[in-house]
Amino acid sequence: MHDHPVALITGANRGLGLHTSRQLLALGWSVVTGVRQADLCSQTEAALADAVQTGRFLMAVALDLTQPSSVRAAVAAVQARAGRLDAAVANAGQFLDRAFGPLDVDPDLVRQTFDINTLGTLNLA
């Protein structure tokens, strides 16, 4: 379908994921941005629209790496649009950015962080 490379970038609505998307678009790639919150898809596309080269595409998809069905749906959307996927950038992640005492650790937050950072990457692979 397409003769140019196509990348899927997770966590692409801000920070490193957004900048990586912009750089790949500038290099002539088509980019699918994976965004955990579906309501941010159009905002992400708008933020990157000026970087899309002629003949390339940008598409934002809702993608929750902790849900294998969400990962499968995102990859299926890429396949339907491009017929190929050349690179996946596992950028999404969560950081425990506050200080904890040894007895103050929230097990649910640790589990959520593990699910996103470790299992999410495995789901994408």
What's 36's domain CATH number? 3.40.50.720
Note whether residue 54 is domain-resident.
yes
Domain that holds residue 67: 6-124
pTM of model > 0.85: yes
Note whether residue 18 is domain-resident.
yes
Q: How far is CA 70 from the centre of its chain?
A: 12
Q: How many residues does the chain have?
A: 125
- Identify the three-state secondary structure at position 27: coil
Note whether residue 104 is domain-resident.
yes
Note whether residue 1 is domain-resident.
no
Note whether residue 61 is domain-resident.
yes
User: Which tens digits make up the pLDDT trace of 34-90?
Assistant: 999 999 999 999 999 999 999 999 999 999 999 999 999 999 999 999 999 999 999
